[in-house]
Each structure stands twice: as C-alpha cells, then as structure tokens.
C-alpha cells in the first residue's frame, strides 16, 4: 500500500466510502479525520495531532493501543492455521479455550458460548436461539422480546429492532414483529420527585406491566444494556436490575444482559451483572472481548438454555463462516490474559475508577453540567442551560438538543481530547489502563472545553 497525502485520502474517502452513523454529505464537505497511530491512551491523526482518547475507540480498546502481544498472537495463529470453521464437527484450539475461559469469567452458570463477528450478530443469535428454546418446549407463542426505548443492541435487523432508537427504526421498516419496548431508566430526566432507589423500582416495574399486558405466555425474554451506552450512559439506580430479575423469574421470562460495552472490566467488575448484583440467563459480548483489536462477538447461554438447545433443539440451523475464527479467539485469549495478569480490572476498581469518579464529580460543578454520572470507567456529563433553576426545571435540556454537545465535542478535540457527544451529554469511556496523571489531563481538557463552550454560548 502506497501512502497518500491527507488531502488525497480525504477526497478518495468522500468519493468512495460511505461512513456508518454519519451525515455523509456533510462529512464529504468537511473531510474526514484520518487516524494513523495509537499508543496506550493516545491516538495520532494524519495531521500529527496527539489526542487523548477518552472514548477508547468506540467503548472497546480496554487494554489501550499498541499492545504488541495482541499482534503477535494474531500473527502466530495466522501462520499456524489462519482459518478453520466450527461447522462439520470440527473446531480449533483457541476457540475451545476461549469458550472455557468465558465460562469461567462470566457469572453463575453462563457456561456456553456461541461465537459471532460482532455484538449485533450475537444479539441476532440470541433472538433466534431463545425463540427456538421456547418453541422446542411446545411454547412457540412465547416469542416476544421486550427491550427499552432508546436502547442500543446493534444494527442488524434484529439488533436494531431489539434496540429502541427511533431514528434507526425509521430506516428499513423496523422493528421486526414481536418486539416491544418499555421506557428506559433515566432518573435525571424522568425521576420526578422520587429518590433514585425508589425510581429504580418504578422504572423496573414497567417491565411487569408490559408482561401482564402482553401475557406472560407470550414473552420469551427481556433484553437490556446494564448501563445504556449509546443513548448517553444512563446508569440505572442500584435497585433497578435486582427488581428486573425478580420480575423475569416470576413470569419465567429469560433475562438477557447485553454486556457489549460493560463486559471485560468497564464498570470495575468483570461484568456489569456483578456490579449491579443480578444473574442473567443469556449475555451478549463483543467490543472489550478483544479490546477492539479484531472483530469478535459471543452469545453466552446458561446451563438451562444451552441444555434445552443441545438436547431438544436438534441441529442448530444457525452460524457464521467465521463463528469461532481462530485468529479472533486467539487474540481474545491474549487480551483476557493481559487483563488478568496485569490486574487491570482490579486496579480500576481499587484505584483509578474512584479517582476518576472524584474528578468527574468536580466537573459536575461546572455551570454547564446538570449531572455528572459515572460507574467505574464509564460516565457522562449532562449539559443543561440552567442547572440552578429550581426543581425539575433545573433538569431541563437545551431547546435544540444536540447542538451544544457537538460544540463541546469540537472544543475538546481542538484541545487534544476525544469525547463523544450524544445529544448534549458528553460520554466518557477511556481505556481501562488510564493513569491518574492522564485522568488529570482528561479533567483539565474537559474543563477547558466546557469553559470554551459556555463562552461561545454566552453563558
């Protein structure tokens, strides 16, 4: 590959590359940013700017950039056996070892992995196999999935349908049939006068109302992100998930935790189910499973579900060419080895996450910030026009939602910091290896971006 200058690359990009989740016409005019290198918590763009990546790529680069061991694990596996499938009564060693490792790491009896290339495909897998699970037990009508409005479960037909993003549903005729949604737990906007723990119960009981409305004999599963990432890092009160679990058990509805963002240490625990204290029947994994170094997703099933699928399910009519691709599973194993050997999750929990939480709450004192929420290494700053307005109006959003977030994001970038904005929430999800000194840098740059945003708004 010959290296081209930035301008030429941008022109070729505009002419030939459709970007996901982007206004492609606007982007073509502006010119895309081209990233060229990464090391630890930093990335460099083609213009030579060094950026502190407080978003870990896309919630995924948990061990940080530039880990040679991961490249070496891929190279070694590619040279030895680049590919073999897991159809035809075959498989490969790293794939078996990863399945066993995931069984060991995930909670309770989530002991069975089905591999895919992405989180979206893992959720497609879950939709099909859970419906199959009920069908082979003579309950074919127990096929409804309940998700949340504004939830995110990926972009395939099933993933986008399970999610509750209205803008996504509009494109392509979604949701597909027999998927319903309840309102998400978002205390800041929706909590009214309730304290968070009371509100958590109220929000969870929306599930019970929906199950009773549809009939428990129709509801196959509830799916949720333990912390709702893409919509703006909605962290539910601690009462929410245990109550959701109680309701699922009461009506024999399977509980699916989409841990694509939360898994592999994001909350300071290996999985958010550990953080919130609940036990899912099925779990979606991707992103942090390889720290983003190579694509891989997995659906984890507990003994009950996997047992029925194996013993009553007949031949599973489902799978991808690359289910359990040995290069991807070898990289995932090495990524998990790094997380374990270097005690990265433990260090977050004991040291860096509490420090980040302290500095994040200091950012909450900024006049633009209505709420600074954080759990472990994932958080958000909710930007509001008038945080000191009395009562509920202090939780009001900007009229033209999204503009201020975008402005703040651009100010951060100009100061060498990558934060994501959803509407007017600034989202945080740094590599888990971020140091205290880098957390201080993150604080300084974010504070500066908030000041510059406020100045430009005349606030």
Residues that bind ligand PLP (CB under 6 A): 118-120, 152-154, 225, 229-230, 258, 260-261, 286-287, 297
> Minimum distance from CB of 426 to ligand PLP (Å)?
17
Residue 225 or 243 having the CB closest to ligand PLP: 225
> Minimum distance from CB of 27 to ligand PLP (Å)?
19
> Minimum distance from CB of 294 to ligand PLP (Å)?
12
Q: State the residue number with the nearest CB to ligand PLP.
A: 119
> Minimum distance from CB of 162 to ligand PLP (Å)?
9
Residue 147 or 313 having the CB closest to ligand PLP: 147
Residue 59 or 397 having the CB closest to ligand PLP: 59
Residue 256 or 404 having the CB closest to ligand PLP: 256
Residue 227 or 363 having the CB closest to ligand PLP: 227
Residue 155 or 438 having the CB closest to ligand PLP: 155
Residue 10 or 323 having the CB closest to ligand PLP: 323
> Minimum distance from CB of 61 to ligand PLP (Å)?
13
> Minimum distance from CB of 256 to ligand PLP (Å)?
11
Q: If you search the block for the tokens 């060991």, which residue do you land on?
A: 104
> Minimum distance from CB of 151 to ligand PLP (Å)?
8
């Amino acid at each position: 590959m010959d290296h081209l200058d930035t301008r030429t690359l941008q022109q070729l990009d505009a002419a030939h590359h459709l970007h996901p989740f982007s206004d492609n016409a606007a982007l073509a005019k502006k010119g895309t940013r081209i990233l060229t290198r990464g090391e630890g918590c930093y990335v460099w763009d083609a213009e030579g700017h060094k950026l502190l990546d407080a978003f870990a790529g896309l919630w995924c680069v948990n061990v940080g950039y530039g880990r040679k061991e991961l490249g070496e694990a891929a190279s070694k596996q590619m040279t030895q056996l680049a590919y073999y499938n897991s159809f035809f009564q075959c498989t490969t060693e790293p794939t078996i070892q990863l399945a066993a490792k995931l069984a060991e790491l995930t909670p309770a009896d989530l002991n069975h992995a089905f591999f895919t290339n992405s989180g979206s495909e893992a959720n497609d897998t879950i939709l099909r196999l859970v419906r199959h699970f009920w069908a082979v037990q003579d309950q074919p009508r127990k096929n409804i999935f309940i998700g949340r409005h504004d939830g995110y479960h990926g972009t395939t037909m099933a993933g986008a349908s399970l999610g509750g993003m209205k803008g996504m549903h509009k494109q392509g005729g979604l949701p597909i049939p027999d998927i319903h949604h309840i309102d998400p737990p978002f205390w800041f906007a929706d909590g009214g006068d309730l304290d968070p723990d009371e509100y958590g119960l109220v929000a969870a009981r929306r599930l019970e109302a929906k199950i009773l409305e549809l009939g428990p004999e129709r509801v196959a599963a509830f799916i949720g992100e333990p912390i709702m990432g893409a919509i703006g890092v909605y962290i539910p009160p601690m009462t929410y998930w245990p109550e959701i679990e109680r309701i699922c058990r009461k009506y024999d509805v399977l509980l699916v935790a989409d841990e694509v963002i939360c898994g592999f240490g994001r909350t300071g625990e290996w999985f958010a189910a550990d953080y919130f204290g609940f036990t899912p029947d099925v779990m979606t994994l991707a992103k942090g499973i390889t720290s983003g170094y190579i694509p891989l997703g997995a659906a984890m099933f507990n003994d009950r579900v996997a047992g029925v699928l194996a013993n009553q399910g007949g031949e599973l009519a489902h799978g991808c060419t690359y289910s359990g691709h040995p290069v991807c599973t070898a990289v995932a194993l090495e990524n998990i080895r790094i997380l374990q050997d270097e005690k990265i999750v433990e260090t977050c929990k004991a040291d860096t996450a509490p420090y980040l939480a302290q500095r994040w709450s200091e950012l909450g004192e900024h006049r633009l910030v209505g709420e600074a929420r954080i759990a472990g290494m994932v958080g958000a700053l909710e930007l509001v026009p008038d945080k000191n307005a009395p009562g509920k109006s202090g939780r009001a959003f900007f009229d033209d939602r999204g503009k201020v977030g975008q402005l703040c994001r651009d100010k951060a970038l100009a100061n060498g910091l990558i934060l994501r904005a959803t509407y007017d929430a600034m989202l945080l999800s740094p590599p888990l290896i971020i140091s205290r000194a880098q957390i201080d840098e993150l604080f300084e740059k974010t504070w500066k971006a908030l000041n510059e945003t406020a100045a430009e708004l005349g606030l």
